[in-house]
Every structure is written in C-alpha cells, then in structure tokens.
Amino acid sequence: MVYARNMKKMFNELMRGGDISTARVITRFILGFGLIAAILFGTAGTFNWPEAWTYIIVQFTYSLRMTLWLKKHDPALLKSRMRVLNPSMQQRDKLFALLFTLLFIPFLLLPGLDAIRFGWSDMPLAIEIIGFAGVSWALWLILRVMQENSFASPIVEIQRERNHQVIDSGPYAYVRHPMYTGFITMNICLPLALGSLWTLPFGILLSSIFLIRIRFEEKTLQDELQGYSDYCQRVRFRLLPGVW
C-alpha cells in the first residue's frame, strides 16, 4: 500500500512539474523513449529495423543535449516543458492537445506496420536519407529555439510573472514561429526517414493544426504582449522566409 502511494505521488509529480531533479529527468527519459521504442518495434514485430534505431538514437541525442542545457541554464523553461498537466491551460489549448494526440497515435503506430510488418511502402534509400537530414535539422532548430527563448511555453500564455518579453534574436530574427517550423519539418520528414508513405498524410494533418494554432496564438500575443505588433512588422514571415 505504501509503495502504491509512493508510485502515485511520483507519477503526479512527473505529470504536474515540481522540482527538476536529475532522477526525475532520467525517469521521464526512460518512460518517454521506452514508450516510443515499444510502439515502433512492437508494431514492426521485430527489432531488426535500422531506420527506427537511427531515429531513436538521433532523437535521444538531441533531447538529452537540450535537457542538460536547460537544466543548467534555464530550469524554469525545463519545468514548463516537462509539465503535462497545466492548470492555466485554456480550452483551445486543451482542444489542440486532444487533436494532436488523436493524430499522433496513428503517426506512431503506422510506420512499423507499413514499412516493416506488411511492407506496403517501398521507400528509396535516398528519400530516407533526405528524411533523416530533415529530422536532424528540425531537432537542431528546436534546440536553438529553446536556447534563445526562455518563454517557449507549451501552451499559449503571457508569462507576466517572468516579465515576458518579445524575442527577436536567433531563429526569431528570420521567422516568428521557428519552433513550429521545426515541428512541421519533423512531422513531414520522419515518415520519410522511417520508410512509410502511409504515415505521411498524418504528418501533414499534424502540421495543419499547428497552422491553425498560429492564428490564435498571434492574436493573443498581439493583444497582450507589448512590442509584439512591432515585431510582426519587422519580421514578416511566420514559418518560412519569403513564403509564409
């Protein structure tokens, strides 16, 4: 009974936030990457899947580097990013999270079924290499965003208690939402890297909800964050310079 209560307490702390201890970070890594590996290799029905191993290693390397950097230089942002249940989450953020989850489930389940178990797709090696190049670039861009923007909360909010300011340096000097650029690139390139054409439509759908999210996020920032409207005049493009 005591063990069960302790496990429940630890789970609640992992979900809500709390102090960012090394043990807690390690636990989240084990749970997160363990789940990803279980889904990918479970649906594939084999561990003999070089593309999946490559992805896990690349993702783990970037995630570990980002987490260690944040733990040392910006623990407040790390705490915010690790919190799954946020009491200040608005209804539209909850809807976004629901839609994202519903689309992300097949996004993870399909590659193993498609590329390995049933072999529906026959992806050329050159396309897989391009996919991995895109995945690596996306992860690098997300890392740079985290290093540059201490206010990169997973929900749309103005962090007045932390003196929220407009960030216009680093990737933000070129586009207004570089993190979403990274996420969308990942959504499109990961199916290619894993060799699954059937997963690509779900990657496109995942990307589309980020495009919708940008609209109401920018309205909130323009209405409530001082200087953001001027920033929009200086940096005209949201996701891709010269395009949109």
Predicted pLDDT at 24: 76
- Give the single-character DSSP code of 116: I
| CATH 3.60.15.10 correct for 2-234 | no
Q: Which residues contact 217 (CB under 8 A, 6 or more apart)?
A: 156, 177
Domain boundaries, the chain: 2-234
DSSP H/E element including 217: helix 200-224
Alpha carbon distances (Å) from 75 to 87, 92, 151, 158, 195: 19, 27, 12, 18, 37
Predicted pLDDT at 57: 95
Q: Tokens for 27?
A: 């636990």
Predicted pLDDT at 16: 46
Helix axis angle, 22-44 to 2-16, nearest 10°: 90
Is residue 203 within 8 A of residue 191, CB to CB? The reply is yes
pLDDT along the chain (244 residues), means of 10: 48 48 78 94 98 96 90 85 68 86 95 97 97 98 94 80 88 96 97 98 95 90 92 95 86
